[in-house]
């Protein structure tokens, strides 16, 4: 089988999520890549080095900048003329593009796969991860998004992919990029961090969140996460949200501070290796999944922890 994997990139850098999707694709067959955008030479070169890749299709056109789905989907559809499967990481970019491709190909997408069971059979989470479905497709071509935490990253070095320029399908001129507010952070990225410190509604406000959670995270070199309640209340920006409808994470250590453990939150972090919960309510559902729990007031526990670590 010939697969085509979406290369996610930003600011001239290839994003790690691509590597997990490559691993999933390699289980199906040959791995080819598509890099789209303008000034993407560096990304294309990085893509050729990913272990095990064959052709790296490069579509150099500003119409593909910011991965506008209206412009990108026709490009993928063209390339699917000689590929059997399209795989994208289940990031907000992948989730935006892949279903548009699927519908244009008249294919039912398989979202957020956890494993490849065969050439047409996959597992995927449903009901906020409270059930795992094994699904088999009848479609001739596959369109798939890949849950990053379920697949190892392919090695970023050692490959010998070959660049092949592809002609642009142009600007459909029905959508355009206006602007973005992308936070620059020195901290590790949430989806690839080894340690995450997450705060919930109990953190009261943005200032308190910053005073209590940030120092602990920084001391541990951790990324910062949050529950939906903390994001809705404006303590931290939306990209911090962990959960069914936020980011899916599986770090070595996940420290949940003042988070109750609603199923929608657990859906995003219950595959973490070790879960640590700090909560003043001993019956909080988070303790049902925590490996280590401490019942106590976070406002005394966290400062003490910070001092003693």
Partner 1 sequence: MKIIVPVKRVIDYNVKPRVKADGTGVDLANVKMSMNPFDEIAIEEAIRLKEKGVATEVVVVSIGPAKAQDTLRTALAMGADRAILIETDEAVEPLGVAKLLTKVAEEEQPGLVILGKQAIDDDSNQTGQMLAALLGWAQGTFASKVEVEGDSVNVTREVDGGLETVRLTLPAIVTADLRLNEPRYASLPNIMKAKAKPLAKKTPADFGVDIAPRLETIKVAEPPQRQAGVKVGSVDELVEKLKALGVSA
Ligand X SMILES: Cc1cc2nc3c(=O)[nH]c(=O)nc-3n(C[C@H](O)[C@H](O)[C@H](O)COP(=O)(O)OP(=O)(O)OC[C@H]3O[C@@H](n4cnc5c(N)ncnc54)[C@H](O)[C@@H]3O)c2cc1C
Contact region for partner 1 (CB under 8 A) — 19-27, 57-65, 169-177, 201-209?
Answer: 169-177
DSSP element (H, E) containing 292: strand 292-295
Q: Which is nearer to partner 1, 58 or 107 (CB)?
A: 107
Contact region for ligand X (CB under 6 A) — 12-20, 71-79, 161-169, 274-282?
Answer: 274-282
Q: How far is CA 36 from CA 167, 216, 241, in A?
A: 11, 39, 28
- Residue count of the chain, please give it: 309
Q: Which is nearer to partner 1, 30 or 120 (CB)?
A: 120
8 Å CB contact between 37 and 44: no
Helices 298-308, 206-220: crossing angle, 10 deg rounding: 30
- Please pick, from the candidates 241, 249, 272, 293, the single residue that binds ligand X as defined by CB under 6 A: 241
With binding defined as CB under 6 A, does residue 293 bind ligand X? Answer: no
8 Å CB contact between 198 and 254: yes
DSSP category for residue 239:
G
With binding defined as CB under 6 A, does residue 299 bind ligand X? Answer: yes
- Please pick, from the candidates 93, 198, 227, 260, the single residue that binds partner 1 as defined by CB under 8 A: 93
Interactions with partner 1, residue window 97-116 (CB under 8 A)? 97-104, 106-112
Residue of this chain nearest to ligand X (CB atom): 243
With binding defined as CB under 8 A, does residue 183 bind partner 1? Answer: yes
Q: How far is the CB of 73 from partner 1 (least distance, A)?
A: 6
Could you tell me the two tokens for 297? 């007031």
Interactions with ligand X, residue window 212-231 (CB under 6 A)? 227-230
With binding defined as CB under 8 A, does residue 146 bind partner 1? Answer: no
106 contact choice in partner 1, ligand X, none (CB below 5 to 8 Å, kind-dependent): partner 1
DSSP category for residue 286:
G
With binding defined as CB under 8 A, does residue 230 bind partner 1? Answer: no
Query: How far apart are alpha carbons 5 and 10 in whole angstroms?
Result: 16
With binding defined as CB under 8 A, does residue 137 bind partner 1? Answer: yes
φ/ψ bin of 290: left (φ > 0), alpha (ψ from -120 to 50), beta (otherwise): beta
φ/ψ bin of 172: left (φ > 0), alpha (ψ from -120 to 50), beta (otherwise): alpha
Q: Which residues bind ligand X (CB under 6 A)?
A: 200-202, 227-230, 241-246, 258-260, 262, 264-265, 268, 279-281, 284, 297-299
């Amino acid at each position: 089988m010939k697969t085509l994997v979406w290369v996610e990139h930003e600011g001239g850098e290839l994003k790690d999520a691509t590597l997990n999707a490559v691993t999933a694709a390699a289980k199906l067959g040959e791995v080819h890549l598509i890099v789209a955008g303008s000034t993407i030479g560096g990304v294309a070169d990085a893509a050729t080095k990913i272990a095990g890749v064959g052709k790296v299709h490069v579509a150099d056109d500003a119409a593909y900048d910011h991965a506008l789905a209206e412009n990108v989907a026709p490009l993928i559809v063209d390339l699917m003329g000689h590929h059997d499967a399209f795989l994208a990481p289940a990031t907000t970019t992948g989730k935006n593009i892949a279903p548009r491709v699927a519908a244009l190909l008249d294919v039912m997408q398989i979202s957020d796969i956890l494993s490849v069971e065969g050439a047409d059979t996959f597992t995927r989470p449903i009901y906020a991860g409270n059930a795992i479905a094994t699904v088999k497709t009848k479609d001739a071509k596959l369109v798939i998004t890949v849950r990053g935490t379920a697949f190892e990253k392919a090695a970023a070095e050692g490959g010998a992919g070959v660049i092949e320029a592809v002609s642009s399908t142009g600007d459909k001129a029905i959508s355009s990029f206006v602007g973005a507010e992308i936070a620059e952070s020195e901290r590790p990225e949430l989806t690839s961090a080894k340690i995450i410190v997450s705060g919930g509604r109990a953190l009261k406000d943005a200032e308190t969140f910053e005073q209590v959670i940030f120092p602990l995270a920084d001391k541990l070199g951790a990324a910062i996460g949050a529950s939906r309640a903390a994001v809705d209340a404006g303590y931290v920006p939306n990209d911090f949200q962990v959960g069914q409808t936020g980011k899916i994470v599986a770090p070595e250590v996940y420290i949940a501070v003042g988070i109750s453990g609603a199923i929608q939150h657990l859906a995003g972090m219950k595959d973490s290796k070790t879960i640590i919960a700090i909560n003043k309510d001993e019956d909080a559902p988070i303790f049902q999944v925590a490996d280590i729990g401490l019942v106590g007031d976070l406002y005394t526990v966290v400062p003490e922890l910070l001092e003693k670590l």
